[in-house]
Amino acid sequence: MYCEIHPASRGTDLAFIRQFDPKGIIFSGGPNSVFDPGAPTADVKLLDLGVPVLGICYGMQLVAHLAGGEVKPSRQREYGRAEVTVRDATGLFAGFPPEACITVWASHGDRIEQPPPEFRVTASSANAPVAGFQHDAKPIFGILFHPEVAHTPRGREILHNFLFHICGCAPDWTPGHFIDQEVQRIATLVGPERRAICGLSGGVDSAVAASLVHSAIGDRLACIFVDHGLLRQGEREQVEHTFRAHLGMDLQAVDAGARFLEALDGVDDPEEKRRRIGHTFIDAFQDAAQHVSGDVGFLVQGTLYPDVIESASPQGGPSVTIKTHHNVGGLRPNLPWKLIEPLRELFKDEVRQVGRELGLPDEIVGRHPFPGPGLAIRVLGPVTPERLELLRRVDAIYIEEIRTAGLYDQIWQAFAVLLPIKSVGVMGDFRTYDHVVALRAVTSRDGMTADWFPFAPDVLGRISSRIINEVKGVNRVVYDVSSKPPATIEWE
């Protein structure tokens, strides 16, 4: 179903909303409290437009605040899984058994102590007496949890009820429709003569972005693969084979490993790593672009919406900067090209659907996400050739064992992290003092939230044993069992 995401400031612009004429409006979650100075808000008259409104988490608190309810700090914050009881099996909860107890994903520090006048409670939890409400006469609804994430198992039913039963929307926006729109838009933007270059990493996002642009302008797209020396084992060879032999794209590979290592020399701070990688990436790109003939006016990137959200500044939008993504906040402001970011408003699951519609092979579409800064943000602390090589070997064993166990496609992302500490161990009756590596594997739908993957103990034991026995310099393996939130998927 087609939707647009707008900044919270649009909520005070009734003229824009009336002109847009939406079938429904969703107030999203966010990091603020309704009591914060400058917190995102909306015009209370928006609730009288007759357009269905759904408030999610902070959005529900805002609806309550605007409509005269009582919002207070929670005695106990809720982050992660929570149990909610359905009190009214109508509206959002149509089709749910009465008094059903459902598992949801929560992330809030405030709660609604008292619903606004003419609102009735539709769900509650142990920590939130008003975990859901709806207006008695108007199509206004709220829930204090996140139905949009995979970890609210019945969240899709809740959204389905709102979109199709309450708003009357039609599910007619497909990957094919998106491709048709984007191909036409890109062809018009680039024009009949100019060329574009694509920063190809070999991951899902840049591959789908490149395929979209290739569909629009054909051979006028040149793909540049910058090998920054921060790749996984065998990755460069796989990228070159796939994109040259299988997809037939114009691909130029640039060996820039020494350049990136020099830029990262002595750098520990993760944000500084990302910034330097972003700048060095553009420098390497500009050098490579000089060898592309014709009028190159555009740079194609596989930026996704989670990248934009997590890189947004407090001044630039309601999101808090979680981490700067090298292709969003890490780029220099004086780029010599105009950006083409066809996936900028999509999430990872939608990108995979578009990739399959474009006919990309599953070895690309089904790959786990890999960050643009590569292993630099998985080597915590200084980045050196020796530490990178150690992590490559660990990561290769980890992924090989996951595939052997038939678990790769059940996991959204899996990787190893080299920690900046050493620990005491015993090998062959001798004392060792070697590196510690952490393993991370998560399930997710879009990367905005995630939960740790529950490996069987024998699988974890086999992985740990192989790593310690086969990778010299590692004597301890730990497994990360934190969710997002409160943690992020990557460690840096």
Selecting among 78, 148, 310, 401, the annotated active-site residue is 148
Phi, then psi, of 477 in degrees rounded to 5: -125, 130
For the chain, first and last CA: distance in Å?
Answer: 34
Q: Could you confirm whether 237 is annotated as catalytic?
A: no
Q: Could you confirm whether 198 is annotated as catalytic?
A: no
CB atoms within 10 A of CB 206: 25
Rounded to whole angstroms, the Cα distance separating 257 from 262 reads: 9
Q: Could you confirm whether 169 is annotated as catalytic?
A: no
310, 322 Cβ separation under 8 angstroms: yes
Selecting among 57, 167, 198, 223, the annotated active-site residue is 57
Selecting among 65, 108, 146, 151, the annotated active-site residue is 146
Question: How far is C-alpha 134 from the geometric centre of its chain's CA atoms?
Answer: 30
Rounded to whole angstroms, the Cα distance separating 116 from 248 reads: 60
Residue with tokens 């899902």: 204
109, 74 Cβ separation under 8 angstroms: yes
Rounded to whole angstroms, the Cα distance separating 266 from 259 reads: 14
Q: Which of 46, 60, 40 is nearest to 16 (CA)?
A: 46
Strand partners, 143: 56, 132
CA dihedral 384, 325, 58, 130 (to 10 degrees): -50
Cite the active site residues.
Answer: 57, 146, 148
